[in-house]
Amino acid sequence: MTVSSEKTFPLPRPRLISNVSLEEALWNRRSRREFKPDPVSAEDVAQILWAAYGINQSGRGSISTAGKLKTAPSAGARYPLEIYLLAGNVMDMPTGFFKYIPGDHTIRLINERNLGHELCVAALHQDMILKAPACLVYTAIFRRTTSRYGERGRTRYVPMDVGHSAQNVYLQATALNLGTCALGAFNDDQVKKALDVPVEEEPLYLMPFGYYYS
């Protein structure tokens, strides 16, 4: 994987055909908490990012979505979520903390350090974060939704949005013979400090993923 001068990495294109049916993925989906030390491929990481919040339609969205719709539904197509990748052991991808850019299907380097230890501490020492080769971090910019829906957007619609996206990740990981677990138990302020995300973003979910012990 090559990097530009702005430290933006193009990702492999998402695959649209799988050997695993949706029904099989639903049947086998579980929360996996024990991860093997084996690395995951850049192709699988790209596939999971796309499943989480990638673009699946162009030219049919509203003005607010720049004509693009995503793999997960969003109330009013407001798309309040931001998704980050903590890469610790990914083949053909440098270690670091990245932001996923759905419109270009790229990742932008935020921090070259492996922030796994800091994130693990912020997540109440849940060591699956350290053992997994990669981890998704979900944040939300609530004003994107509350500007239209008010407080109901904060208490109802944004939590729905992250649930839709996270289930996509569960099913995609299962189809790739990977496991994941959605974590909501963490100290919000510590996560924000550890990862240095923008002030307006609030952390919602952590999803470590990788090969798992049966």
Residue 27: inside a domain: no
Domain assignment present for residue 98? The answer is yes
Q: Where does the pLDDT of residue 63 fall: very low under 50, low under 70, confident under 90, or very high at 90 and above? A: very low
146 is a domain residue: yes
For residue 42, tell me if it sits in a domain.
Answer: yes
CA angle in degrees (0–180, nearest 5) for 98-193-43? 15
Give the closest residue to 209 by CA, choosing from 22, 47, 14, 9: 47
Q: Say if residue 61's pLDDT is above 70.
A: no
Percentages helix, strand, coil for the chain (3-state, rounded to 5) are 35, 25, 40
59 belongs to a structural domain:
yes
Chain segment 89-141, per-residue pLDDT in tens: 999 999 999 999 999 999 999 999 999 999 999 999 999 999 999 999 999 99
Predicted confidence band of residue 24 (pLDDT cuts 50, 70, 90): very high
- The verdict on residue 92 lying in a domain is yes
Stated as kind and residue range, the H or E segment containing 81 is: strand 81-87
Under the banding of pLDDT at 50, 70 and 90, the label for residue 49 is very high
User: CA–CA separation, 184 vs 180, rounded Å?
Assistant: 13
Lowest mean pLDDT among 6-10, 84-88, 156-160, 168-172: 6-10
Q: How many domains does the chain have?
A: 1
Q: State the residue range of the domain holding 81.
A: 32-209
The answer to whether residue 96 sits within a structural domain is yes
Q: What is the pTM of this model?
A: 0.93
User: What is the domain-level CATH number for residue 48?
Assistant: 3.40.109.10
Domain assignment of residue 113, yes or no? yes
Which secondary-structure segment (H or E) carries 122? helix 116-122
